[in-house]
Each structure stands twice: as structure tokens, then as C-alpha cells.
Chains A and B, each alone.
Chain A
Amino acid sequence: MRTLSCKQLRKCFGGIRAVADIELEFPEPGITAIIGPNGAGKTTLVNILTGFVRADAGHCYLGKRETTQLAPHRIAQLGVTRSFQELRLVQQASVIDNVMLARPRQLGERLWRALFRVGVAVEETSSRREAIGILHALDLDDKTHALASELSYGQQKLLSLALCLATEARIIFLDEPVSGVHPELTARILSLLRGLAENGKLIIFVEHDLAAVREIADRVIVMDEGQVIADGAPADVLHRPEILEAYVG
């Protein structure tokens, strides 16, 4: 079991403290929700932990390995992936190509293998099979050959989750995975996330929907003005008046 952690993490944008001396540990597996009002620093914290933003001070670790200065792709290669608040997909590629893109350590991504096709066909067949399996699990198998841009918003949310699964990452950050999604699909996504956690993955998600947080999170971290103001089980945290006040504003 590895633990994702950060110590004395700090990030300022101009004069605004987006993340202020945060210390956290995220042991695997489980589901952790990060909540807080807009501008609380939730997405900045995720961006720092996944390497997309450099912290001004402090350290991030994956197990014993320091990841503070690593590029995002190196952190992803260590088994930490993410989705984004704004949907990010290869819109002009098919659904299955999007999922196959996300597969890790592909031989065919090497120049000489790509040119001379050494072992690529076999790998592609197996990669395609895996991708179809993931799409089937997410009920997207009838959209396999559709362009990503042709999917509905909810289906695109599912596809971005499929990409995270295809990376085989053990730690998955999701930024508002159920925002703007109809209740039926929300229930499906939450049940999928629960299933992933039961299969040993650590899910960390930023979310405004407190009902969703109550339903699946094992742990809730509440942030406000760049600081962690509460951290604990949903039942212990979410009823506190000061949390509700900070959250509702």
C-alpha cells in the first residue's frame, strides 16, 4: 500500500493564497471527497498533487518517492491520473481510440515499433479488447466507433472516467465527476466509483454535490481560503454548523 501525501504545501497566485500550508495523507484504497466554496483552493490542490501546477513551497510524496518537481506525465506514469472540471477528450477521435490512447506503456508508441510494426498488431488487439471491456462496464459499448464530440455531456463524463480506468492508475483524481449530470447517471457514476474503491483504488474527488459526497465518500476534506478546515468521516464533518456556513458562504 502506497500513500499519497503532502507536507507544508503552499501556492499563491498574485497576493491570493490558493493553498496555505496544507498537510494531508491519502492512504489507499478508499474514496475521499474534497469540498469547499468556490475559490477554496480545491482544484489548485489537485493540480499540485498531479504536477500541473508547481507549489511555491512544500513537498508531495507518493509512498516514499517525492513527486513535487515531477512533470505531470511522470506522476501519471507512477499511477496517479485525473479528470478535469472542463471535459478533456480527444474530440475528433473515436470513443475507442480515446480509451486505447490512455492505455499505459504501449510498444506502438515507440517510433521504431510504429514504423516497422514489430509486435504492434498483437498489442493493439489486446488493447482493443481491454478498451471494449471498459466501455462495456460503463455502458458505452454502443458508442465505440462514435466520435467523442458526438457523445452527450453525460456520456463524455463517462468517457473521461473510462480514460482514467484505462490508464490502470491506482490513484484517480476526479474534478466534479457528477456536476451537470442527470440523477440516473449520477447514481451510476457513484456506484462505479464505489466499485473501483472496493477493487483497491484510491478515488479523490472534488465535488459540490453534498448528497453525492454523503453517499460514497469514506472521508471528507473541507477547504476554505486555501486551508483545510475539517477532515474526517462525512457523518462527523458534514453536519457541523461552521462547515455548512463556510460551504454555503
Chain B
Amino acid sequence: MDYLIHIAVFCCIYTVLAESLDLLVGHAGILSLVHAAFYATGAYTCAIIAVHLQWPFPVALLLGCASSGVVAFGVAALSIRLRGDLFVIATFACHVVILGVVANWIGLTRGPLGIFDIPHAVVLGCSLDTGWQYALMALTMALLAWAVVQLLVSSPFGRVLHAVREDDVLAMALGKNVFYFKSLAFIVAGVLAAGAGGIYAHYMRFIDPTSFTVMESILIASMVIIGGAGSRWGPVVGAVLLICLPEVLRVLGLPGSVAAHLRQIIYGVLLVVMMRLRPQGLVGHFAFGR
């Protein structure tokens, strides 16, 4: 049972990440590879506050989200005016820089050694020390992220994002500040991803830079694209599928070392097959990149 709850927690955490990235990829049409850095910012901020300052978890989570929002603003300011491939490369570079800071600011983050013994989150006086409690919190966060994205994309704000996705020249001709809307979407995505990071840090009780590499960003983007970018349920389907897939390999009895490599191969093949045969994803309607 604990194993299933553990999978459920990860499904919810990655749903938050995929849903938040979908605001950029699926609704604003911009592929970002910096998402795991926002996830890391939230995780590290929460962990540092919990370990060094012992502030309440909700405060740490809010500060984690705020700091990620600031980082996202910085990344947006640096990269949002670039187009297409250049933008993707710029976000990749920003990810490398942010993770470089995390890995080398030893005094604050303990660098490659990571931060361990992160205390369990305490919410409303109740210490969350069981898996199902974290599953409940992660589910709440996933529902919140889903609701925020759905509220935004079904509003006039979302209408502009969709226009930016399809034709930013038209959006400009209609008086919409394309860079402003893209930047806001970037900040919202960063804030939501940080929420997932905060829960991850307290749940795992240990974080180090290897959990937030660019492969993590690619995994999140794969979830969005395979599930269906720009659709209501696509990111949820993608997150659950790609989290559960390795577990199926485990059930098949493959050795851990083989399963880990096989997982990467399956992700890659799945991504290529989807882009070729069903670019709108499993449950989506917007064909990313077309």
C-alpha cells in the first residue's frame, strides 16, 4: 500500500509540473526547458527555510513560490523576446545557470551533498509523516494547479495566450503586449512548479541537484506533449502515464539497472511516435510544433 501511495504522491507532484508547463507549451506555444529549475527553486527554498529557520511549512511554501516567481521573471526578461529554437536554447542555458548556482553555492545548498533531514511539513499543527497525508497534500496542490490553469485559459487572458500561440503578429496588431502576456504565463508556471518542489522536498526529506537536471525538464515536457498540450486533461494523463510506466517495468521483473535505461528509451520512442502519429497527444487537440 505504501508503494502505491508513493506512486500517487509522485503522480500528483508531476501533474502540478506538467499542468504548469502546459500553460507555456500548450497555451502560449513556447517550449521551455527551464521548468525543473523552478521546481528546484521551490524545493531548495522550502528545504533551507525548514532546516535553518524552522519557519512553518505554509510560509516556506509561499516564499518558495515567490522566489521561483522572481527567478521566472528573470528568465523571462532574458529570454522571452527570442523566438523558436533560440528561446528553447536560452531556457536551457538559464536552467544550466540556475542549477550551477544550486550545485556550487555550498554554504547555502550544500552543493552536491544535498540537504538532508528536512523535517516533515506541519500544516495546521499536524505533522505530515505518513504517505497518505502527503498524497492528500500533493493531490490538493495538483487540483489547485489544474484549477489555476483552467481559470486562466478560459478567460480573456487565456484568449490572448492562444492568440500568441497561433500568431503573435496578429496579437500585436490587435494591441496585445505579447511579451507581457508570455512573461506573466512564465511567472505563473514558475510559481506553480515551485509548489511541487516544496512538497517534494518535505516528502523526500532529502534533495540534491541530481533531482532537478535538464532531463527532468525534458521529462515534464514529454508528459505535456504525450498527454496532449493545451488540453484540459492531457498533462494529467501524460504525468500519470510516464510516472506509472517505469513501475510497470518493475512489475515485469526487470533488474533496476536495465529498467532505468529502458525507461529512457521508452520515453524517447514514445515521444517520437507521438510527434509522428499523433502530435496533439493522447487526449489533446492542439498539435504542438505544427
Residues of chain A touching chain B, judged by Cβ–Cβ distance below 8 Å, are 50, 52, 71-73, 76-77, 81-84, 88-93, 97, 100-102, 104, 106-111, 113-115, 117, 120, 123-124, 127, 163, 167
Contacts and interface: CB of A to CB of B under 8 A. Distances in A.
A93 B27 CA distance: 12
A81 B171 CA distance: 11
Interface of B: 148, 151-152, 155-160, 162-163, 166-167, 169-178, 181, 184, 188, 285-286
A117 B158 CA distance: 13
Given A81-B173, A111-B184, A163-B174, A90 B166 contact: yes
Given A90-B167, A101-B163, A115-B148, A108 B172 contact: no
Given A89-B170, A92-B162, A100 B151 contact: no
Given A90-B170, A114-B151, A115-B151, A76 B159 contact: no
A19 B184 CA distance: 37
Of B163, B170, B178, most A-chain CB atoms within 10 Å:
B170
Contacts of B160: 101, 109
Contact of A167 (B152, B163, B166, B174): B174
B156 A124 contact: yes
A108 B157 contact: yes
Contacts of B163: 90, 93, 101
The 5 nearest A-B residue pairs measured at CB: A108-B156, A76-B175, A114-B157, A114-B155, A88-B170
B174 A114 contact: no
Nearest to A102: B174
7 contacts: A50-B173, A52-B173, A71-B177, A72-B173, A90-B162, A90-B166, A108-B157
B148 A82 contact: no
B177 A93 contact: no
B188 to A, nearest CB: 7
Contacts of B178: 73
A76 B157 contact: no
Contacts of B184: 111
Nearest to B166: A90
A163 to B, nearest CB: 6
A76 B172 contact: yes
A100 B176 CA distance: 13
A76 B170 contact: no
A135 to B, nearest CB: 16
A103 to B, nearest CB: 8
B152 A115 contact: yes
Nearest to A98: B163
A60 to B, nearest CB: 16
B41 to A, nearest CB: 20
Contact of B156 (A72, A92, A93, A100): A100
Contacts of B169: 52, 84, 88
Given A73-B178, A92-B166, A115-B151, A100 B159 contact: yes
Contact of B155 (A73, A83, A108): A108
Given A76-B173, A76-B175, A81-B175, A114 B152 contact: yes
Nearest to B287: A92
Nearest to B187: A111
Given A73-B176, A114-B155, 17 more contacts: A52-B172, A72-B172, A72-B173, A73-B174, A84-B170, A84-B173, A88-B170, A90-B167, A92-B285, A100-B159, A101-B156, A101-B160, A109-B157, A111-B184, A113-B155, A115-B155, A117-B151
Contacts of A110: 157
A106 B163 CA distance: 15
Given A52-B169, A92-B286, A115-B151, A120 B156 contact: yes
